[in-house]
Amino acid sequence: MKKIIIISLLLLSVLACKKKGNSPEGPTDVRIRNLSDQTFEEVIVITSEKSGDIDTIGSIAKESTSDYFRFTKAYPKAEISATINIGGSLIKFSTGAVNFTYLTYIGQDRITYEVYISDMNNRQLTISNVILEEPLVLK
Protein backbone atom coordinates (compact mmCIF):
# COMPACT_ATOMS: atom_id res chain seq x y z
CA MET A 1 0.00 0.00 0.00
CA LYS A 2 2.83 2.38 0.88
CA LYS A 3 4.44 1.76 -2.51
CA ILE A 4 1.24 2.69 -4.32
CA ILE A 5 0.92 5.94 -2.35
CA ILE A 6 4.57 6.88 -2.96
CA ILE A 7 4.34 6.08 -6.67
CA SER A 8 1.06 8.02 -6.91
CA LEU A 9 2.61 11.05 -5.19
CA LEU A 10 5.66 10.94 -7.46
CA LEU A 11 3.51 10.62 -10.54
CA LEU A 12 1.25 13.45 -9.39
CA SER A 13 4.21 15.73 -8.65
CA VAL A 14 5.75 15.06 -12.08
CA LEU A 15 2.47 15.74 -13.86
CA ALA A 16 1.86 18.91 -11.83
CA CYS A 17 5.16 20.47 -12.92
CA LYS A 18 4.80 22.99 -15.67
CA LYS A 19 7.55 23.94 -18.02
CA LYS A 20 8.33 27.58 -17.63
CA GLY A 21 7.78 29.36 -20.93
CA ASN A 22 10.55 31.27 -22.65
CA SER A 23 10.20 34.94 -23.35
CA PRO A 24 9.11 35.75 -26.90
CA GLU A 25 11.83 35.89 -29.54
CA GLY A 26 10.82 39.34 -30.60
CA PRO A 27 10.21 41.75 -32.07
CA THR A 28 13.41 43.65 -31.38
CA ASP A 29 13.97 47.31 -32.26
CA VAL A 30 17.50 47.80 -33.56
CA ARG A 31 19.57 50.86 -34.30
CA ILE A 32 23.18 51.29 -35.41
CA ARG A 33 25.72 53.67 -33.87
CA ASN A 34 28.57 54.59 -36.23
CA LEU A 35 31.70 54.96 -34.08
CA SER A 36 34.00 55.67 -37.03
CA ASP A 37 35.10 58.94 -38.63
CA GLN A 38 33.52 57.93 -41.98
CA THR A 39 29.90 58.16 -43.11
CA PHE A 40 28.23 54.79 -43.61
CA GLU A 41 26.05 54.78 -46.73
CA GLU A 42 23.55 52.12 -47.84
CA VAL A 43 23.72 50.29 -44.49
CA ILE A 44 22.16 46.82 -44.64
CA VAL A 45 21.46 44.88 -41.44
CA ILE A 46 20.68 41.15 -41.12
CA THR A 47 19.72 40.24 -37.54
CA SER A 48 18.73 36.58 -37.82
CA GLU A 49 18.32 33.57 -40.07
CA LYS A 50 14.72 34.58 -40.91
CA SER A 51 14.33 35.97 -44.41
CA GLY A 52 12.33 38.96 -43.11
CA ASP A 53 15.09 40.09 -40.78
CA ILE A 54 17.01 42.11 -43.34
CA ASP A 55 16.57 45.84 -43.71
CA THR A 56 18.27 48.74 -45.42
CA ILE A 57 18.93 51.44 -42.86
CA GLY A 58 20.20 54.11 -45.26
CA SER A 59 23.05 56.45 -44.34
CA ILE A 60 24.54 57.02 -40.89
CA ALA A 61 26.80 60.03 -40.46
CA LYS A 62 30.12 59.65 -38.68
CA GLU A 63 29.81 59.34 -34.90
CA SER A 64 26.00 59.33 -34.99
CA THR A 65 23.15 56.87 -34.51
CA SER A 66 20.36 55.69 -36.81
CA ASP A 67 16.67 55.51 -35.97
CA TYR A 68 15.20 52.30 -34.61
CA PHE A 69 14.12 49.62 -37.08
CA ARG A 70 11.92 46.67 -36.09
CA PHE A 71 13.09 43.10 -36.68
CA THR A 72 11.18 39.93 -35.82
CA LYS A 73 14.23 38.48 -34.05
CA ALA A 74 17.75 39.69 -33.22
CA TYR A 75 20.90 38.24 -31.71
CA PRO A 76 24.00 39.75 -30.05
CA LYS A 77 25.71 39.36 -33.44
CA ALA A 78 24.47 40.67 -36.77
CA GLU A 79 25.67 40.94 -40.34
CA ILE A 80 26.09 44.62 -41.10
CA SER A 81 27.37 45.98 -44.39
CA ALA A 82 27.86 49.54 -45.55
CA THR A 83 29.43 51.40 -48.44
CA ILE A 84 31.97 54.06 -47.56
CA ASN A 85 33.21 56.84 -49.81
CA ILE A 86 37.00 56.63 -49.87
CA GLY A 87 38.79 58.91 -52.30
CA GLY A 88 35.67 59.32 -54.42
CA SER A 89 35.00 55.58 -54.71
CA LEU A 90 32.22 53.76 -52.88
CA ILE A 91 33.73 50.67 -51.22
CA LYS A 92 31.68 47.99 -49.46
CA PHE A 93 32.62 47.08 -45.88
CA SER A 94 31.05 44.27 -43.86
CA THR A 95 31.13 42.48 -40.51
CA GLY A 96 30.96 39.22 -42.46
CA ALA A 97 28.39 36.44 -42.39
CA VAL A 98 27.07 35.26 -39.04
CA ASN A 99 26.10 31.72 -38.06
CA PHE A 100 23.06 32.21 -35.82
CA THR A 101 22.73 28.50 -34.93
CA TYR A 102 23.89 28.54 -31.29
CA LEU A 103 23.22 32.17 -30.40
CA THR A 104 20.60 33.22 -27.86
CA TYR A 105 18.07 35.73 -29.16
CA ILE A 106 17.72 39.10 -27.47
CA GLY A 107 13.93 39.19 -27.19
CA GLN A 108 11.57 42.13 -26.89
CA ASP A 109 14.04 44.95 -26.36
CA ARG A 110 15.42 48.08 -27.96
CA ILE A 111 19.12 47.64 -28.72
CA THR A 112 22.01 49.50 -30.30
CA TYR A 113 24.83 47.86 -32.24
CA GLU A 114 27.99 49.99 -31.96
CA VAL A 115 29.97 49.54 -35.19
CA TYR A 116 33.40 50.75 -36.26
CA ILE A 117 35.91 50.12 -39.05
CA SER A 118 38.33 47.57 -37.63
CA ASP A 119 40.45 46.94 -40.74
CA MET A 120 40.52 49.49 -43.56
CA ASN A 121 42.62 47.30 -45.89
CA ASN A 122 40.36 44.23 -45.59
CA ARG A 123 37.16 46.33 -45.55
CA GLN A 124 36.12 44.95 -42.18
CA LEU A 125 33.47 46.35 -39.85
CA THR A 126 33.22 45.15 -36.25
CA ILE A 127 30.44 45.33 -33.69
CA SER A 128 32.22 46.56 -30.57
CA ASN A 129 29.24 46.52 -28.25
CA VAL A 130 25.53 45.67 -28.11
CA ILE A 131 23.67 47.99 -25.77
CA LEU A 132 20.35 46.83 -24.32
CA GLU A 133 18.51 50.15 -24.17
CA GLU A 134 15.13 49.26 -22.66
CA PRO A 135 12.38 46.66 -22.81
CA LEU A 136 10.09 46.99 -25.80
CA VAL A 137 6.55 48.00 -24.86
CA LEU A 138 4.05 46.45 -27.25
CA LYS A 139 0.46 47.59 -27.34
7 occurs within a structural domain: no
Let me know: does 126 contact 118? Beta carbons within 8 Å.
yes
| Domain count of the fold of the chain | 1
pLDDT mean across residues, the chain: 89
- CATH number, domain of 60, equals 2.60.40.2890
pLDDT tens-digit profile of 76-89? 999 999 999 999 99
The answer as to whether 30 is a domain residue is yes
CA dihedral 70, 72, 76, 78 (to 10 degrees): -80
Is the residue at 1 inside a domain? Answer: no
* Residue 16 pLDDT > 70: no
Neighbours of 126 (CB within 10 A): 14
- Stated length of the chain: 139
Give domain status of residue 67, yes or no.
yes
Q: What pLDDT is recorded for position 3? A: 73
Give residue 66's domain range: 23-135
Q: For 19-72, what is each residue's pLDDT tens digit?
A: 444 458 889 999 999 999 999 999 999 999 988 889 999 999 999 999 999 999
Q: Is the pLDDT of residue 4 over 80?
A: no
